[in-house]
Chains A and B, each alone.
Chain A
Amino acid sequence: MYETTYHRPSSVDEAAALFAKGTESKYLAGGHTLIPVMKQRLASPSDVIDLGKIKDLVGVEVSADAVTIKAATTHYDVAGSGPVQKAIPALAHLASLIGDPAVRYRGTIGGSIANNDPAADYPAAVLALGATVKTNKRSIAADDFFKGLFSTALADGEIITTVSFPIPAKAGYSKFPHPASRFALTGVFVVRTKSGEVRVGATGASQNGVMRVPAIEAALKANWSASALDGIKIPTSGLMSDIQGSSDYRANLIKVMAQRAVTAAG
């Protein structure tokens, strides 16, 4: 990788100030997205600003209505959090499926959604649960946050501080892993909110990154059961196609993973 300057700020404000000083700064939390890219010399940040050691950015808070995860909380800590397991078990389950154990010790929710990899797991949960992404500047609704492949509503230098997930009536996540990378070849997160709304987020499938699946939402709204999706046909247009999954296969996986997620949600 190219030489860079590493910083370890102790507050969000200090991090933002350091970011502004650098000519081409990058934030790093767990580093499991940025460092591999830097190793390939595909990124050459002048300054790397480590958010992982900022105490205010680590931890989980659960209230009656929401699970709030601070941005630099690792996948391991979310997966193993008793309160998260109790409030939104599907979310803890999703965190337990990201990468591998060593990656889960380092990777963070903020890093994952800020990167918005089209095959990452977390975006499916953020979108389906209608989470709110809070930054050092504002709050962003999930529906406004993801802007396509590796692209989000975040402004340059903006720092995610928390992601707040409303606790749903029911939720489930089912993932078919890419055989090599173990990202999602397709992963589907299904939610029935306490007000009866149904939201479904699919990752790994669309050329534009995480997406909602209206056909499945409508069918599940009418009948919350796996069999309600038996006759559903997901259109292949806009879906990714590669050596591990053609678009028609991915369309099938969206349906099958949604069915399994509903079964898991109960």
Chain B
Amino acid sequence: MSTVKLTVNGKSVSADVEDRTLLVQLLRDHLNLTGTHVGCDTSQCGACVVHIDGRAVKSCTVLVGQANGANVTTIEGIAKGDELHPMQAAFRDNHGLQCGYCTPGMIMSAIDIVHRHGGKLDEATVRHELEGNICRCTGYHNIVKSVLDAAGRMKVAQAAE
């Protein structure tokens, strides 16, 4: 057992957990942040993607100890109050989700993709960059559309800031 302290969605949290606890388990079971999902046990599906210190990573493959002291952002932490993050809004407006299970991980990965590529995204790049996120419902068609749409929205939002 260890005490871990980290910042989750801007709030300091601390928990006494077994060392074998995974970050996703801390989020879901201890912090009740159930928006982050588990869809596989081989680090491939990406349903569990969160941001650690600004980078999109698979929270099913991070021990809590590794995240000790880190700044973690989950799907619950990206909207500003009632105002959706542009990526969330783009997923809704482009029907980029169906059952919703892969969606939080998709959105967290997609935000990271836009951060890394800025406005230089095209369809082929988005498809390649989504390699670590599996969706069984959408055939990715509208997810790709959503990411491209959001890339434009995020650029505009950035320019406005």
Chain A residues close to B by CB (< 8 Å):
1-6, 8, 28, 31-32, 35-36, 38-40, 48, 50, 52, 76, 99-103, 105-106, 181-182
Contact = CB atoms under 8 A, between A and B. Distances in A.
Contacts of B68: 8
A102 B57 contact: yes
B56 interface: yes
Given A6-B65, A8-B65, A100 B132 contact: yes
10 contacts: A8-B65, A31-B62, A35-B43, A35-B63, A36-B42, A36-B61, A100-B132, A101-B113, A105-B55, A105-B57
Nearest to A50: B66
Interface of B: 2, 18-20, 22, 41-44, 46, 49, 55-58, 60-66, 68, 109, 112-113, 116, 129, 131-133
A36 B66 CA distance: 15
B109 A102 contact: yes
A101 B62 contact: no
B23 to A, nearest CB: 10
A39 B131 CA distance: 22
A35 B61 contact: yes
Given A40-B41, A102-B46, A103-B58, A3 B20 contact: yes
Max chain A Cβ within 10 angstroms of own Cβ: one of B2, B44, B113, B129: B44
Nearest to B46: A102
Contacts of A36: 41-43, 61
Contacts of A105: 55-57
Contacts of A76: 55
A58 to B, nearest CB: 14
Contacts, number: 80
Nearest to A7: B65
Q: Is the interface of B mostly helix, strand, loop or mixed?
A: mixed
B61 to A, nearest CB: 5
Given A101-B131, A103-B43, 8 more contacts: A2-B20, A3-B19, A6-B66, A28-B63, A35-B61, A39-B41, A100-B131, A105-B57
A103 B20 contact: no
Contacts of A182: 131
Contacts of A39: 22, 41, 60
A48 B65 CA distance: 10
A101 B132 contact: yes
Contacts of A101: 56, 109, 112-113, 116, 129, 131-132
A2 B20 CA distance: 7
A1 B61 CA distance: 12
A4 B58 CA distance: 20
Contact of B132 (A1, A2, A31, A99): A99
Contacts of B18: 3
